[in-house]
Each structure stands twice: as C-alpha cells, then as structure tokens.
Structure 1
Amino acid sequence: MEEFFSRKYGDSVKLGVLSTEPDQARTADEGTETKNAPLDLQFDYLPRDIKKYLDRFVVKQDAAKKVLATAICDHYNHIKRCSVKGPCREYAKQNIIMLGPTGVGKTYLVRTIADLIGVPFVKADATKFSETGYVGGDVEDLVRELVHKADGDVRLAEYGIIYLDEIDKIATPTNILGRDVSGGGVQRGLLKLMEETEVSLRTPFDLTSQLQAAMEFQSKGKVSRSVINTRHILFIVSGAFNGLADIIRKRMGAKAIGFNSAYRSAPRDEDFFQYAKSNDFIEYGFESEFVGRLPVVVSCHELNVDDLFTILKNSEGSIVRQYINAFDAYGIELVPTDPGLLTIAQKAYEDRTGARSLVGVCERTFREFKYNLPHSSIKRLEVTAELVENPQEVLKGILKESEAGQLSEMETTFVMIADEWSKRNGIQIRLQPEAARLLSQKALESGNEAEEVFAETFKDYEHGLNLIRRTQGIQQFEITPDVIRDPRATLDQWIRAYYISR
C-alpha cells in the first residue's frame, strides 16, 4: 500500500497508522477471562435513594420517578450479580419506553440518573437514523459514541445508557407500501442492540478505519476485531406519542367512559398513557419484536404554572441559578422574587413547551440587562413581576437612575481633581456645577477615567494660566460650561485678551 501511494502521489503523501480506537478495546477472539472481568462500577442504591435524588432536580412526575428508579435498580443489580457469580443468561433486560409531552423532564430524568450512577450517557434523535446501508446515521454509532463518552473505557461503556428521543416518529403505519428506511428499518436495527450483540468499534464505511485495518493486516497478517458488547447497555426511548391516547381510549371502550367521569374536566391525552399496553404500541406502528424489548413503560404528565414556578424556585437544576452566576461574574447580585418567578412561569406555560420554555423566557427577559448593566454602577437587580412583564421599560428606568447617580458621584470627583490641580500648579480654578456635569457626561460617554478626561481637557492650561497670572496678577479662574465645550478656543481667547490689554 505504501508503494501504491508513493507511485500515485510521490513524496507529498505519507501513509501512517492513526489509532482511532480505545486502548482498552477488547477483540472478539479474546478469552472469557477478559470478557468476564469483574465490574468496577459500584452500585448500592435503593429505589427510594434514586427517587429522592431525582426529586432534587426534577419537579413532579412522581409515578415516573418510581418506575424509573425501580427499573434502574433491577438492571444494575442484575449486572452486579453477574459480575460476582458469572454470566447470567436468563434475564429480561429492563429497557424503558417513556411517554409524555415535550418539556416535562424525560431527558433530564435519564441524564440525572446516569450522572448519579456514574455511567456514560448518550442521547440522540431517532429521526436522524436510517437502516444500515441507507443515507442517514447508523444506530450502531450510538454504541460507539458511548465509548467516546467513557473516555475510551470500553468496559465502562458496556454499562452505559443510550437514550433515543422522538421514537414515536419512526413508527411505521400499517398501510405503508415499499421499503421504509426511516421507520421500520431503524426499529429492526435497534432490535439486536437492545438484546445482546457485539458492535465493531471500527466504523464500516470510515476511510480511516479501513486504512488502519489494511495497515494492521500488512503488519500482522490478520485484522483484529475490536468490539463492544451491548448485553448490559440500557436502552431508553421516549416520545410525545400524539394519537396513542386515541388508540388506548378506543380499546378501553366503556371503561374509558368511567375513566372520563373520574375527572372534573376532560382528561388529557397523557392521562391515558398509564394504561398503555403492548398491542397499543403495535397498532401505533411499532413492530411486535421491538415493543417486546421495551418492557417498562413510564408515563410523564404536562407541567402546569405551579410546577414551572417550583422548578424555578426550588430545583437544583433551575435555570435561574445560571443567570445568578452570569450576573455575579459582573459583580451584580440577581435577586429573584416570588412574583417575578411566577410571571416567568406563566409566560413559559403560554409557550406550551414545558420546562424548555423557561430558558427562552429567561433569555428574552435578561438579555438586555446582561449587556447593559455591567457598564453601569448597578450592583443589585431585583427580579420583579414588572421587570418580567416590561423588561425594556424597567431597564431604561434603572439605567437612567444609575446614570444620575454616576453623574452626581462623578461631579464630586471632578471638583476634587480641580482642587488638586489648583494646589499643584498654584493657580485657583473653580468648576461651575454645569461645567462639572459636562465633564462627567464626557467621561461616561467615552468610558474613560475622570483623571484622563480632566488632563485632556486642561492639558495646555498650566502654562497659559501661569502666563496670565504672572503678568496680570489674576489668581482665580472661573471654569464655565463654555470652557468645557471648547477648552482650546477659550484658552486662546484668554491669552489674546491678555496681549490686547498690554
């Protein structure tokens, strides 16, 4: 191969081996001793421990938290048992399907659990994948990404969590004709991953991987197959599942009528999700084998205004904390109030995208404050309902008040600088109040220090005024606003008047 590149490209191209695989990647022909190496992952949580931890970050969704916590404990306790007693074959893996509208915390729940346990976590959109061999991502790339998230630790990656959102978008309608590469094909691709298979860490269609394999064959006479086993990788899929409630309602028939009467108002679609069965998902458009590999069903409910308010005020993952830190970097204390947070929650609820809306509302509210306040004298910003409702008007008022305070403080500074200049040069200059204000405005507008503005304004006055003082005996000079507006012209006028008087 080196000769081929040399003949085709000369010395301009050199072929070398670039290792793209983790050092810990094991090969398919390694002995069982390596494959069954003890698991380093320490898991000693009880379901209530996980639920209690989730409560710190995710508001509401109590039923979902309990089901998730129990399934997670079952899964990782099984792994722990297998690592001690050896391979455990008879076990139905607790892969999970999560139902619920957008912005209710589905992704956040899973990510928080992964952080707690200490396993790598990969999230992807199911609609970005296609059946192997077609245009689009390969579902096996998700497994390889786990290795990347585990910093190359294949053993740790084999106990990670893969989360696929918008799984409802790959449901295949029963009346579809022809080959469906974006729905059924992806389901079939996920089937073997969700049970147990070995995925090559070399991407089949990657040029670098192919060149590396060729060089390895040239040097060793064979190509090792570095793989990762999916036996203990937990798969969690989720989606809004629009239309699934109608299928459940239809199946329940008369029971659904009694179900409806239990609600003071008409039940929402997600209220039916807790009654979802395998046949409902199959009718929705999923293959029976695919549904069979997702035995745990978790239902999440829409968040109301009070829930969003609680997230803002009490959640450890509240977006408000991010803005508090952002303002703190500029030396500004951001002080949320209950009315202000409630107004943010109300605006977010109107967007109808759950907790995700909180970020958008906060950004629209605080964007101009983050830009303007660092340049002001403001050190404290109270988040009131009025501020959230009319951020631009409140900002204008704050800046105007701040500027007035800065002007007053700056005027005093300029008077002090003028006194020091007078003592240093033996010439008395007196700043009129309006002159001091004009100097202050120049300083604020230019962003320069008061000393710089004063020095630039009166840079030639020491010699000019000394000349007048020595010849005419004038000891005090009145600095009017006109002097500040055009200091050079004023000094020239005073000196000309001196010569004329002679």
Structure 2
Amino acid sequence: MNDLTPQQIVAELDRYIIGQHRAKKAVAVALRNRQRRRSLPPELRDEIRPKNILMIGPTGVGKTEIARRLARLVNAPFLKVEATKFTEVGYVGRDVESIIKDLAEIAVRMVKEEKTAALREKARANAERRLLRILAGLEKPKQAKGPFDLFGVFAPEKTQSAPDPEEQGRLEMLRERYYRGELEDEMVQIEVVETPPVPSGMVGIGGLDEIGQGLQEFFSAMLPKKVSLRQVTVAEAREILTQQETEKLIDWDDVYREAVTRVEESGIVFIDEIDKIVGGYGENGPDVSREGVQRDILPIVEGTTVWTKYGPVKTDYILFIAAGAFHVSKPSELIPEFQGRFPIRVELESLTVEDFERILVEPENALLRQEKALLESEGLQLEFTKEAIRTMAELAYQLNKENENIGARRLYTILEQVLEDISFRAVEYKGQTVRIDENFVRERLDPILKTTDLSRYIL
C-alpha cells in the first residue's frame, strides 16, 4: 500500500463511494505526500507537515466514509470525533488531548492484533502442548496456598519435569487421539486468570477522566489476580490456552513503541461537526465557549507533544480532516488561526437522482447487495428491476429536497419500508424469488408519501 499513486487511491475509494471526485482527489494527494515525505532526508523531512483538509457539505454525502476508507486502505490509526463533544463540560470544553490519547489506544489495539496474528501459530502449538500435558495428568492446575501467594510474591515457578517412559507413552497415545479429533468434546479443568473489577467509588470524579483512568489502572495492578478453575471442553480449552500463550509471547514494549510511531507517522483524525463550534453572537454577547473549543483544538492541529500512558506522542505529522455542513455558519467565521491550519478546502456536492441510483447498485457494499445477502441467508432470492431502482432513487432525491437533506441515508429509510413485509415473512418465501418492480415500490410508499406529516416521521 506504500506505493499507491493518487490515481490508485481514488480508484480504491471509488469502489465504495459514489461521486465526490474533488474530495477523493484531495485526500489522495494528502496521503501520497506522506509517502513522498518518508523518502526525503531527515533535515528536510522534519520541515514538511501535512496540509489538513476541511470538507464542506451536507450530511450523508460521504465525508466520514472517505476518511474512514482512506485510513483502512493504508491500515492507519483512525479516530472520528465530534467537535461538539468538547463543549459539553466546563467553560471551554473537555480536555482535547483525549483525541490523541484515544488515537494511541486504537493504534495499540491495531498493533496488538497484528502481533497476535503473527504469533498465533506458535502460541497455538504451545497451547496444544500444554493441553496434552493437562490431559495426560502431567500438568496440574496450581493453587495459591498462602496469603502472599495471592500477590505472586512467594509463589514459586514450577518447572516441568521430563515424563518417564510410561507417561511418554500415554502422552503419545493422547496426541494421536487429539489430532484425529476424538477429544474435542472431552471435559478438562484449566486455570483462568480473572482481574477483579474495581469498585466505581474508588476511581475518579465526574469530569476528571484522566485521574479516573489512572486510578483504575493502579488498583487493577495492585489487586490480586483471581485464579479460578473452569471445566471446559478441549475445543474451548485450546482457545483459552492459545490466548494465554499469546499474551506471554507478545513484547508489550515493542507494541507500545510501534503504536506511538504509527500514530505520529500515519494517524488520521476526522473532526466532525466543526461548523457547530463557530462562535456566533447571541443575545448575551459572543459565544466564547465555542471559540474556546477552537482555541483548545488549535495546538493539537498545529503540532504539539501529548503525554499518553504509552509515552509522548508528537502531533506534527498527524493528518487532520475537519468536516461540517455549514448551513448556518461559514468557514470564514472560524477563528483565523484555525482557518489557517486547514488550507485545503473541498466542497462536497449534494447527491443527484443518478447518484442515488448508483449508490444502490454499484459500490462493493451497495445497499441492494446487502439486502439480498441478508435474505439469501433464509433461502429467499430478491430481484430488483431497473424501474424499481430508479423509482427509489427519485423518491430519495424528492424527500431530501422537500424535507431535511440527509443524503444517502434517505435510501435506508426507503428500502426498509419497501422490504419490511418481505423481511417480516421471509420464512414463507423460502425457496422463492421475489421480484421488486416499480408498482411494488409505489404500493408500499405512496400511502406514506400522500400524508405529508406521516412522511416526515417515517421517511
């Protein structure tokens, strides 16, 4: 993925998102510039920072989806956050550094999943070896015997002794039966380590999320691990032991280092509803709270160092994509410093009838494809005529024009109404092919469309 050209990036986005070529082009160039930056000498590389993007357009036209698909395309840590979240608490909002801390958590989870997948075969082999020893009676569950053992202070690590010939023969016999699949339903007793929950009264106070989280981790580390014995099948035991062995094999310091690097070099933050924090002038003077949120977010976007529990994270090279409908306000009403940090502005177009028609059938995750797959799971085949698809697209466009414009999401409400009865009685149609034509669509939607008030609630 590191060698994707802007044209290839746009082509990949086209597989899932209809239209909005300008926005796709902007994010493709931003992503390619990241790859170009990596090939530069260090002294020049440090001077080049990403050009953040401001997307302007109504809801449901693909702003979030473009950013999310872009991050998934290059396996980059991605976080979507609403700007209004930071106006909820206090005068100027919550601690905006939580954006980077949350992004670091996502990166750690991504790297852990990758390491887990890479180590799975080795962990599974170790788990199967342990499982066979447990089945053969060569490894017994350990129980803490003293109060200090609960904390793991004086609990000695038991070494595995080599089995004698008789035990070795029993082990080989069990191994043969195990690999033939004869032991899958046998019951076995294994140890499961559980971390006791920390009482809610012991952590944090309202609004002090960071302190609460720190206390939570502190008490989790201090409280003894609860070791319980569970009777499970061999198949279940294999999965539990594989997970335990994976945890032993993972180098957590390496995971944290790689996660921080990934956030710094390829992290993408999508800040939605940016138009809702434009400071307007009301009856009681300027709305300084909203402008305060802009000023709070500004250092993160400009480039600063945020301290997380995995180490310091520099935000200089994180790509920030802001988005908003800007129905009431205008981008020029943002504070000048904030505007300057989003030099690339892209206006997304409202969807046309043709766009709605293509959204229903063309993308790899097309809505009609999803509905067909859901009903095929019950043995029912759906067939949509071109006229039916066109009618649904026209109705979506008409409803967006007459009511609130919610973009492609209008198609969900229309499809749900059209297919409601079929979905409800899917078992009765098992083995049949149901043909959805224009008349079928109109029969189900016309009664609602004729009643204006009803259509506002349902469609």
- TM-score, length-scaled by structure 2: 0.58
Residue 143 of structure 1 pairs with residue 100 of structure 2: yes
Question: Which residue of 293, 298, 307 corresponds with 1:200?
Answer: 307
CA distance in 2, matches of 1:87, 1:177: 46
Question: Which residue pairs with 1:303 in the alignment?
Answer: 351
CA distance in structure 1 between the aligned counterparts of 2:77 and 2:296, rounded to whole angstroms: 21
| Counterpart position of 2:437 | 384
| Structure 1 residues 131 and 392, CA gap change in structure 2 (3 angstroms) | closer
287 and 48 in structure 1: CA distance in 2 versus 1, 3 angstrom threshold: same
Q: Is the 8 A contact 1:71 1:296 kept in 2?
A: no
Please give the alpha-carbon distance, in whole angstroms, between the structure 2 residues aligned to 1:145 and 1:69.
25
Structure 1: segments with no counterpart, 5+ residues: 1-41, 203-224, 245-279, 394-502
Q: CA deviation at 1:292?
A: 0.7
Match of 2:380 among 307, 313, 332: 332
Runs of 5+ consecutive residues of structure 2 not aligned to the other structure: 110-258, 401-405, 447-459
Task: Pick one of 30, 35, 55 that aligns with 1:71.
Answer: 30
Aligned partners of 2:434 and 2:78: how far apart in 1?
37
Deviations, residues 42-76 of structure 1 (Å, cap 9, x unaligned): 62111111111122222122222222211221134
Decide whether aligned partners of structure 1 residues 131 and 191 sit closer, same or farther in structure 2, where only a CA change above 3 A counts.
farther
How many residues align structurally? 291
The 2-side partners of 1:302 and 1:392 are apart by 23
State the match for 1:369 in structure 2: 422
- Secondary structure (helix, strand or coil) at the match of 1:139 reads coil
State whether residues 58 and 108 of structure 1, in contact with CA within 8 Å, keep that contact through their aligned partners in structure 2: yes
Given the alignment, which residue of 271, 294, 297 partners 1:187? 294
Instruction: Name which of 78, 81, 85 aligns with 2:39.
Output: 81
Identity %: 33
Q: Structure 1: how far apart are the matches of 2:319 and 2:89?
A: 21
**Residues in 1 aligned to 2:21 and 2:382: alpha-carbon distance in whole angstroms:** 31
Residue 179 and residue 351 in structure 1: after superposition, are their counterparts in 2 closer, same or farther (change >3 A)?
closer
TM-score by length of 1: 0.54
Change (3 A) 1:288 1:239: same
The 10-residue stretch of structure 1 (87-96 or 341-350) with the greater mean CA deviation from structure 2: 87-96
Equivalent AA in structure 2 for residue 130 of structure 1: T
Q: 1:192 is aligned with what amino acid?
A: P
Q: Which moved more, 1:129-138 or 1:326-335?
A: 129-138
The superposition leaves residues 220-240 of structure 1 with CA deviations (integer Å, 9 ceiling, x where unpaired) of xxxxx8332212211000111
- CA distance in 2: counterparts of 1:375 and 1:163, whole angstroms: 45
C-alpha contact (below 8 Å) 1:131/1:138 kept by paired residues = no
Distance 1:347 1:372 in 2: 25
Q: Return the structure number with greater relative CO, CA threshold 8 A, min gap 6.
A: 2
The root-mean-square deviation of aligned C-alpha atoms, in Å, is 2.7
Please list the CA deviations of residues 68-99 of structure 1 after superposition, one character each: whole Å capped at 9, or x if unmatched: 21122113432x236x7367332242110001
User: 1:303: Cα distance to partner?
Assistant: 0.7
Is residue 361–residue 367 contact of structure 2 (8 Å, CA) maintained in 1? no
The alpha-carbon deviation at position 137 of structure 1 amounts to: 4.1
What is aligned with 1:62?
21
Deviation, 1:135, is 7.9
Whether 1:169 and 2:276 are equivalent positions in the alignment is yes
SS state at 2:50 partner: coil
For 2:60, the equivalent position in structure 1 comes to 103
Corresponding residue for residue 72 of structure 2? 115
Q: 1:323 to 1:151 in 2, by over 3 A?
A: farther
1:105–1:326 Cα change, 3 Å:
same
CA contact (8 A) 2:380 2:429 kept: no
C-alpha spacing 1:70/1:291, structure 2 compared with 1 (3 Å): same
Distance in structure 1 (CA, Å) of the matches to 2:421 and 2:93: 40
Greater Cα radius of gyration, structure 1 or 2: 1
Correspondent of 1:355 among 393, 408, 432: 408
Correspondence 1:232 to 2:317: yes
SS, match of residue 90 in structure 1: coil
Structure 1 residues 237 and 361, CA, compared in 2 at 3 Å: closer, same or farther?
Answer: same
User: Do the aligned partners of 1:197 and 1:230 also contact (CA within 8 Å) in 2?
Assistant: yes
